[in-house]
Structure 1
Amino acid sequence: MNFAGTKFARQACIVLTLLLAAAFSPAETLTGTVKNGTSNKPAAGDEVVLLKLGRGMEEAGRTKADAKGTFSFKVDDTSTPHLVRAIHQGVTYHRIAPPGTSSVEVVVYDVSKKIEALSVTADVLRFQAQKNELQGIRLFAVDNKSKPPRTQMNDQNFEFYLPDGAEVDTAIAMTEGGQPLTTAPVPQKDKNRYAFIFPLRPGETQFQVVFHLAYRGEASIDPKELYGTQHFVVMLPKTMQFASASGATFASMNDPRQPDAIVQVASNTKAGQPLTFKISGTGILTDKEGSNQEADSPASGSTTAGRDSRPGGGLGPPIDAPDPLEKYRWYILGGFALVMTAGAFYISKRPRTASLANFGPSDIELSALPRAVTPAAHGRSGLLLEA
């Protein structure tokens, strides 16, 4: 064999050796623990699932936490993010494992059918009317302050009413520090009554329902409050008219950042309290700061399908807004442009979370409440999380 042939053979052997080494190199290990946040003890026996996040969702492993609450997975592909899901008493809890992560902790909570330490921080109704249709969004912010912390879950976990004749377009739920998830409200026996069968984990959970109904220039709206709320808010364009019914007390507020909007607020309401109001006229809530919201959204995208593409809110972070409007601005300005299309919500390749300000009876200042976000148009993964 001449010199050239010998050199080629050596190079081929080196390449083959490297390929074989890469093929048979040991996979990295992802270890973790499942902690019961209710008992502050290891969650022994809980099922744990490893999900690979790419352009879709792929189960990469499944195991159970041992007596110490620990688990481990062999991770073959360390270049993509993974999601660790723990299932405790039928409720799922998640923890993202970005590339390079070697250990994670997932905190789970015991489940109760009924928790007394639930409070509704805000109940917000937004309306706009075009031609013969009234479009609305109802948003609830529910706070679970149970001690020790527990998750509430039952067959009618959070109930509410929609206006007579309303048809649900779509709905989402979002837990504290989590991503918005699609969830379908379930009709109940009572007319216009619905229930979210979605776990109320410790912390805040937000529900948002998009609906529409036939409109003939005016409508009487009875929210039929099933819970006491810190703030019940109604928002509509100034080209429309608002009138409270007998027994309902609202305070009018002006928003300098959206001068074309009417904002009416009833504070510290009780379950069953009369809050009926009438609206009339037509108009839309214009998006005056959509570009700011686009920059601040955890996952920017476009809503180009159906009624969600119509002009709506979508305001960016408020600056120098007057109290007390500033205290719950994120709720009342969470507009039409921010709700999702009829499909699933997706998490981006690097999920971000928004910090939640703590609410108290005498201090309702909030600095950075999470908002419903539009689904990422071009992401590396498309994962619909379970409740």
Structure 2
Amino acid sequence: MLRRMMDRQACLSYLMVSYLMVFCLAVPALAAIDGKVVNQTTGKLQAGATVTLYKLGQAGPEQIESVKSAADGTFHISKDAEGPGPRLVQAAYQDVTYNRILPPGSPSNNVTVAVYNSAKEQGAARVAQHMVFFEPVRGQLMVGETYIFKNEGKTTYNDVDGGTLKFFLPPAANGVVQVNATAPQGMPVPQAADKTSTPNVYKLAFPIKPGETRIDVSYSVPYTTPGKFEGKVLYKGGPTRLVVPNGVTIKGDDIRSLGQEPRTQASIYDVKGDSFKVEIAGSGTLRPSDDSAEDSGGATIEQIPPKLYDNMKWILALAFGILTLGFILLYRAHAPETAMTAPRGKPHSPVKDKNERRRR
């Protein structure tokens, strides 16, 4: 009886030691991240992509490890981010970065990151919609332009030298402009707008990946009512629409009325050609008040918020840093003439690292 109990205890001890050994061996394997890089242009696994793991937290993204995808497109990251927060797996290929966010608790194996071939030719990328929002307030005409790119092809449009978007900036803006770009399923990232050889025309070198990309351009010009405004359309693509708030009138030979948006009563106009001259009178804002009525059910026109993951509220706390840090190594640092937001009447000096944000 005693011998049988001793044998059983020895057996249990052996099993416990074996379990602990297996567990200790399994921990590093579970901590590693492995997967593959797939080129959606060719439909094949992609070798030579730089894959980097970032830990995302309140202090910003922290680089954990960077590796190259193997000849068969696979990659293995031996380290993992400690803690319960989300992780970012980023693949850099042909000077463009592509991201895969891993929410807390998601598997660390068989992670697939999609990349695309890049080309300087526009290909299937086009401006599907261009909205110009006017808000005359306190002696300033606040202008917000939203460009919605649609790329239904399988190649990223990326023209670093010529720019993927050119836009006209009125001389009265004095070169002060703010640009934010949002990649497909991404977040808005500040961009640098560079002067071109054409007066009052600026260019933006932001990769237009397959899917929908949004670019927001904002600036202001002095305003007295009534005031005149001239604009130009420098792309071939979808329509250009002008929007003014309720209480503001706009007229000109180059536009036609499309009616009013039901909820805010904002007036919408279609631009007939590739340029327009209008007269604007009155003052008002397109931003709804806190006690505004709920949506009446009709179609709405508004400054479209970027698309975000509904179940990823933690992304908002990382707004500026999540998708930018890894892009710094993609391009050579240079400092072109750049027009960025500055206090009114004071020219803003170029910031050398702004161009590094174009890789998003």
User: TM bucket by the smaller chain?
Assistant: 0.7 to 0.9
Paired with 2:318 and 2:148, the residues of 1 have a C-alpha distance of: 28
Seen in structure 2, the aligned counterparts of structure 1 residues 350 and 50 have a Cα distance that, compared at 3 Å, is: farther
Match of 2:232 in 1: 224
Match of 2:181 in 1: 173
**RMSD of the TM alignment (CA)?**
3.0
Give the C-alpha shift of residue 381 in structure 1: 9.3
Seen in structure 2, the aligned counterparts of structure 1 residues 29 and 290 have a Cα distance that, compared at 3 Å, is: farther
Where relative contact order (Cα < 8 A, 6+ residues apart) is larger, the structure is: 2
Match of 1:320 in 2: 297
Give the C-alpha shift of residue 379 in structure 1: 6.0
- Residues 261-303 of structure 1 show CA distances to partners (whole Å, capped at 9, x for unaligned) of 222124xx66xx34332212322234146889xxxxxxxxxxx
Which residue identity lines up with residue 136 of structure 2 in the other structure?
Answer: A
Which residue identity lines up with residue 50 of structure 1 in the other structure?
Answer: L
Give the C-alpha shift of residue 229 in structure 1: 3.6
Identify which of 252, 256, 264 aligns with 1:250.
256
Does structure 1 residue 196 correspond to structure 2 residue 201?
A: no
Paired with 1:107 and 1:381, the residues of 2 have a C-alpha distance of: 23
Does structure 1 residue 351 correspond to structure 2 residue 354?
A: no
Name the SS for the 1:77 alignment partner: coil
Give the C-alpha shift of residue 230 in structure 1: 2.5
Paired with 1:228 and 1:192, the residues of 2 have a C-alpha distance of: 19
Identify which of 67, 74, 87 aligns with 1:70.
74
Does structure 1 residue 262 correspond to structure 2 residue 267?
A: yes
Paired with 2:189 and 2:69, the residues of 1 have a C-alpha distance of: 26
Contact 1:235 1:262 in 2 (8 A): yes
Match of 1:142 in 2: 149
Give the C-alpha shift of residue 83 in structure 1: 0.4
Match of 1:36 in 2: 39
Instruction: Tell me the TM-score normalized by structure 1.
Output: 0.68
Give the C-alpha shift of residue 75 in structure 1: 1.2
Give the C-alpha shift of residue 106 in structure 1: 0.9
Does structure 1 residue 99 correspond to structure 2 residue 104?
A: yes
Contact 2:56 2:88 in 1 (8 A): yes
Paired with 1:291 and 1:51, the residues of 2 have a C-alpha distance of: 41
Which residue identity lines up with residue 57 of structure 1 in the other structure?
Answer: P
Contact 1:258 1:288 in 2 (8 A): no
Does structure 1 residue 89 correspond to structure 2 residue 94?
A: yes
Alignment of 1:1-387 (within 5 A): 26=28, 28-55=31-58, 56-73=60-77, 74-77=79-82, 79-100=84-105, 101-103=107-109, 104-146=111-153, 148-155=154-161, 156-166=163-173, 167-245=175-253, 248-259=254-265, 261-266=266-271, 273-288=274-289, 320-321=297-298, 326=299, 329=300, 332-334=301-303, 351=312, 376=316, 382-385=321-324, 386=327, 387=360
Paired with 1:203 and 1:290, the residues of 2 have a C-alpha distance of: 36
Contact 2:166 2:235 in 1 (8 A): no
Match of 1:12 in 2: none
Seen in structure 2, the aligned counterparts of structure 1 residues 171 and 29 have a Cα distance that, compared at 3 Å, is: same
Which residue identity lines up with residue 33 of structure 1 in the other structure?
Answer: K
Give the C-alpha shift of residue 145 in structure 1: 2.2
Contact 2:98 2:115 in 1 (8 A): yes
Paired with 2:62 and 2:146, the residues of 1 have a C-alpha distance of: 33
Give the C-alpha shift of residue 63 in structure 1: 0.3
Name the SS for the 1:165 alignment partner: helix
Name the SS for the 2:239 alignment partner: strand
Paired with 2:320 and 2:204, the residues of 1 have a C-alpha distance of: 27
Task: Give the unaligned 5+ runs of structure 1.
Answer: 1-17, 293-315, 340-346, 353-374
Contact 1:349 1:380 in 2 (8 A): no
Give the C-alpha shift of residue 159 in structure 1: 0.7
Name the SS for the 2:197 alignment partner: coil
Paired with 2:49 and 2:292, the residues of 1 have a C-alpha distance of: 44
Seen in structure 2, the aligned counterparts of structure 1 residues 379 and 197 have a Cα distance that, compared at 3 Å, is: closer
Paired with 1:290 and 1:382, the residues of 2 have a C-alpha distance of: 33
Name the SS for the 1:227 alignment partner: coil
- Residues 191-226 of structure 1 show CA distances to partners (whole Å, capped at 9, x for unaligned) of 221111110111111100121111232333332111
Name the SS for the 1:168 alignment partner: coil
Name the SS for the 1:230 alignment partner: coil
Which residue identity lines up with residue 334 of structure 1 in the other structure?
Answer: Q
Paired with 1:60 and 1:95, the residues of 2 have a C-alpha distance of: 15
Give the C-alpha shift of residue 58 in structure 1: 0.6
Paired with 1:48 and 1:242, the residues of 2 have a C-alpha distance of: 51
Seen in structure 2, the aligned counterparts of structure 1 residues 76 and 351 have a Cα distance that, compared at 3 Å, is: closer
Name the SS for the 1:83 alignment partner: strand
Seen in structure 2, the aligned counterparts of structure 1 residues 252 and 186 have a Cα distance that, compared at 3 Å, is: same
Seen in structure 2, the aligned counterparts of structure 1 residues 142 and 76 have a Cα distance that, compared at 3 Å, is: closer
Seen in structure 2, the aligned counterparts of structure 1 residues 176 and 29 have a Cα distance that, compared at 3 Å, is: same
- Residues 152-194 of structure 1 show CA distances to partners (whole Å, capped at 9, x for unaligned) of 3332221111223125352211122222222122222222211
Contact 1:123 1:229 in 2 (8 A): no
Seen in structure 2, the aligned counterparts of structure 1 residues 152 and 379 have a Cα distance that, compared at 3 Å, is: closer
Paired with 1:196 and 1:381, the residues of 2 have a C-alpha distance of: 19
